[in-house]
Amino acid sequence: MLQAHLEITGMTCDGCARHVERVLLGVAGVRAADVSYERGTARVTGEALHAATLTTAVHAAGYSVAVGGPTPSRGGLGAEQHPAANTPGVSTRHPPVRVAIIGSGGGAMAAALKAAELGAAVTMIERGTLGGTCVNVGCVPSKILILAAHIAHVRRESPFDAGLPTAPSVVDRRRLLAQQQARVDELRRTKYEDIVAGTSAIEVVRGTARFENALTLRVALAGGGERLVPFDRCLIASGASPAIPPIAGLSATPFWSSTEALASDHIPRRLAVIGSSIVAVELAQAFRRLGSDVTVLARGPLLSREDPAIGAALREVFVGEGIAVLTHAEASRVSYTGEEFVLTTPGREVRADQLLVATGRTPNTRELGLSVAGVDVDHSGAIVIDDHLRTSAQHIFAAGDCTDRPQFVYVAAAAGTRAAVNMMGGEATLDLTTMPAVVFTDPQVATVGLTEAEARRRSIETDSRTLPLDAVPRALVNFDTRGFIKVVAEAGTGRLLGTQVVASDAGEVIQAAALAIRAKMTVHDLADQLFPYLTMVEGLKLAAQTFTKDVRQLSCCAG
Q: Pick the catalytic residue from 336, 424, 435, 557.
A: 557
Are 159 and 478 spatial neighbours (Cβ–Cβ below 8 Å)? yes
Backbone angles phi, psi at 242, to 5 degrees: -55, 135
- Domain-located, residue 161: no
Burial status of residue 366 (CB atoms within 10 A of its CB: 0-12, 13-18, 19 or more): exposed
Is residue 139 annotated as part of the catalytic site, yes or no?
A: yes
Q: 339 and 233 in one domain?
A: no
Are 552 and 471 spatial neighbours (Cβ–Cβ below 8 Å)? yes
Q: 217 and 319 in one domain?
A: no
The predicted pLDDT at position 558 comes to: 62
Is residue 402 annotated as part of the catalytic site, yes or no?
A: no
**pTM for the whole structure:** 0.84
- Domain-located, residue 140: no
3-state SS of 159-187?
CCCCCCCCCCCCCCHHHHHHHHHHHHHHH
Long-range contacts of 22-25 (CB under 8 A, 24+ apart): 22/427, 23/57, 23/58, 23/60, 23/61, 23/425, 23/426, 23/427, 24/54, 24/57, 24/58, 24/425
- Domain-located, residue 514: yes
The predicted pLDDT at position 429 comes to: 97
Q: What is the CATH number of the domain that holds 59?
A: 3.30.70.100
Burial 321-344 (b: 16+ CB within 10 A, else e): eebbbbeebbbeebeeeeeebbbb
Q: 373 and 344 in one domain?
A: no
Are 346 and 355 spatial neighbours (Cβ–Cβ below 8 Å)? no
Q: Which domain holds residue 45?
A: 2-81
Are 402 and 365 spatial neighbours (Cβ–Cβ below 8 Å)? yes
Give the sign of the dihedral formed by CA 14, CA 15, CA 20, CA 25.
positive
- Domain-located, residue 19: yes
The predicted pLDDT at position 73 comes to: 43
Q: 337 and 317 in one domain?
A: yes
The predicted pLDDT at position 87 comes to: 34
Q: 126 and 63 in one domain?
A: no
Is residue 556 annotated as part of the catalytic site, yes or no?
A: yes
- Domain-located, residue 67: yes
Q: 70 and 116 in one domain?
A: no
Q: Pick the catalytic residue from 124, 134, 234, 423.
A: 134
Q: Pick the catalytic residue from 1, 37, 139, 234.
A: 139
Are 497 and 489 spatial neighbours (Cβ–Cβ below 8 Å)? yes
Is residue 435 annotated as part of the catalytic site, yes or no?
A: no
Q: 290 and 201 in one domain?
A: no
Q: 224 and 107 in one domain?
A: yes
Q: Pick the catalytic residue from 1, 37, 63, 435.
A: 63
Q: 443 and 541 in one domain?
A: yes
The predicted pLDDT at position 249 comes to: 98
- Domain-located, residue 172: no
Non-local CB neighbours of 493 within 8 Å, separated by 6+ positions: 522
- Domain-located, residue 536: yes
The predicted pLDDT at position 89 comes to: 39
The predicted pLDDT at position 393 comes to: 97
The predicted pLDDT at position 67 comes to: 75
User: Domain tally for the chain?
Assistant: 4
Is residue 533 annotated as part of the catalytic site, yes or no?
A: no
pLDDT per position in the chain (559 positions), as tens?
788 889 888 776 787 888 888 889 888 889 889 999 888 899 999 887 888 788 888 877 767 787 764 444 433 333 333 333 333 333 334 469 999 999 999 999 999 999 999 999 999 999 999 999 999 999 999 999 999 999 999 999 999 999 998 988 899 999 999 999 999 999 999 999 999 999 999 999 999 999 999 999 999 999 999 999 999 999 999 999 999 999 999 999 999 999 999 999 999 999 999 999 999 999 999 999 999 999 999 999 999 999 999 999 999 999 999 999 999 999 999 999 999 999 999 889 999 999 999 999 999 999 999 999 999 999 999 999 999 999 999 999 999 999 999 999 999 999 999 999 999 999 999 999 999 999 999 999 999 999 999 999 999 999 999 999 999 999 999 999 999 999 999 999 999 999 999 999 999 999 999 999 999 999 999 999 999 999 999 999 999 999 999 988 888 776 7
Q: 223 and 369 in one domain?
A: yes
Closest CA to 82 of 57, 106, 46, 111: 46
Q: Which of 395, 423, 451 is the last residue of a domain?
A: 423
Q: What is the CATH number of the domain that holds 266?
A: 3.50.50.60
Q: Which of 304, 337, 358 is the last residue of a domain?
A: 358
Cα 320 to Cα 35, 73, 239, 272, 425, distances in angstroms: 68, 78, 36, 18, 55
Are 503 and 539 spatial neighbours (Cβ–Cβ below 8 Å)? yes
Is residue 234 annotated as part of the catalytic site, yes or no?
A: no
The predicted pLDDT at position 71 comes to: 45
Q: Pick the catalytic residue from 1, 16, 37, 410.
A: 16
**Nearest 5 degrees, angle CA 312-CA 318-CA 321?**
145
State how far the Cα of 111 lies from the Cα of 423, in Å rounded to an integer: 9
Determine the length of the chain: 559
Q: Pick the catalytic residue from 11, 234, 402, 536.
A: 11
- Domain-located, residue 525: yes
The predicted pLDDT at position 29 comes to: 84
Q: 354 and 305 in one domain?
A: yes
Q: 403 and 292 in one domain?
A: no
Q: What is the CATH number of the domain that holds 508?
A: 3.30.390.30
Burial status of residue 199 (CB atoms within 10 A of its CB: 0-12, 13-18, 19 or more): middle
- Cross-strand pairs, 448: 499
